[in-house]
Amino acid sequence: MKANEKLNYFISYFLKARTLKSEKMQQFATDIKEFIKKYRLRIFSVLLLLFLDLYFFPRQEKLYFEPDITNFKNKCNYAFVTIMLILWATALIIALNKINDDQSLNRFKKFEKRVVAIGGSIILVGVYFLFSYSIFSSLGLFINRQSYKKEIIQRVYTVTDKSKDEDGTFQLYLFNEANNSMEISENDYAVLLQGDKIVIGFKEGWLGADFDPIYIRKLNIQQMPLHH
């Protein structure tokens, strides 16, 4: 084979390979588009749950003390259970009415479908309760912060410990009926000692939960330095 023929052969082979690769890439892009179009709701649901779990939920609870979160969730339990029961009863009534109106079913088939509808709805509500309760409570914490009273709520806490995290933030550990922690400035971190009585201010939210704790002042001085 002459040199020119060899060159033409390699050029032709390269162009065919490039064309084939381009066609495969186009087909791959088409398959991806079809997959996203077909499962877009599921993909959106997964992305939404990831956003809520990794950012939204931790963000809400970070702005509250743990006892305030617990008290708020306890108050939310009644509302959440009531809403779940209303949704369950509504869906069940609609399903049972459709079964009763189906003239193609005999009495035994209707009974069988009623049992399946009742049992299936109970299981579905249980699963929905497990996955949606955290969403419901976190959404409530978010709504609570959207409006608040101008008056600052003040509480007295005892300093039990303090530390500097790896990311450079200063943490203060407090006690007032329960253990709590909050970030403070470096200047406040330097002067606060174990056993100090301090005042923490909160905003009272629209739904009655106190949030956004902030250090206000120290009430006394205890000579018990922390060793860190």
pLDDT at 8: 58
Q: pLDDT tens for residues 35-90?
A: 777 777 777 877 877 787 777 777 888 889 888 888 888 888 777 778 878 877 88
Domain final position from 128, 144, 160: 144
Output 170 or 21, whichever has higher pLDDT: 170
Starting at the earlier edge strand, list the strands of the sheet with 170-175.
179-184, 170-175, 148-164, 197-205, 210-218
Q: Which residue has the tokens 């978010």?
A: 142
Q: Are 172 and 178 in contact (CB under 8 A)?
A: no
Q: Is-contact 201 216, C-beta < 8 A? A: yes
Same domain, 112 and 165: no
Domain count, the chain: 3
**What residues have CB less than 8 Å from 4, skipping those under 6 apart?**
none
Kindly state whether residues 69 and 136 are assigned to the same domain. Answer: yes
**What band does 22 get if pLDDT is binned at 50, 70 and 90?**
low
Q: Are residues 139 and 188 in the same domain?
A: no
Regarding whether 176 and 130 lie in a shared domain, the answer is: no
pTM, entire model: 0.61
Task: Determine contact, residues 158/197, Cβ cutoff 8 Å.
Answer: yes
Angle (CA) 160-163-166 rounded to 5° is 155
**pLDDT tens digits for range 129-141:** 776 777 788 888 9
> Quick one: pLDDT at residue 228?
43
Q: Cα–Cα distance between 75 and 91 in angstroms, integer?
A: 26
Q: Is residue 116 part of a domain?
A: yes
pLDDT digits (tens, 9 = 90+) for 25-36: 666 667 677 777
Instruction: Confirm whether 43 is domain-assigned.
Output: no
8 and 69 co-located in one domain = no
Q: Range of 118's domain? A: 64-144
Q: Is the confidence at residue 225, as pLDDT, over 70?
A: no
CA dist., res. 119 & res. 81, Å (int): 18
Which of 144, 172, 202 is the last residue before a domain boundary? 144
More confident residue, 98 or 214: 214
In a domain, 129, yes or no: yes
Please work out, in degrees rounded to the nearest 5, the angle formed at the alpha carbon of residue 206 by the alpha carbons of 152 and 48.
Answer: 120
Residue whose tokens read 């490039």: 18
Q: Would you place residue 21 in the very low, low, confident or very high pLDDT band (cuts 50, 70, 90)?
A: low
| Percent helix, strand and coil across the chain, each to the nearest 5 | 60, 20, 20
In a domain, 115, yes or no: yes
Residue 24 domain-assigned (yes or no)? yes
Please report where in the chains the tokens 């992305």 appear, as a residue.
47
Whether 226 is covered by a domain: the verdict is no
Helix (H) or strand (E) holding 140: helix 107-144
CB 161 within 8 A of CB 119: no
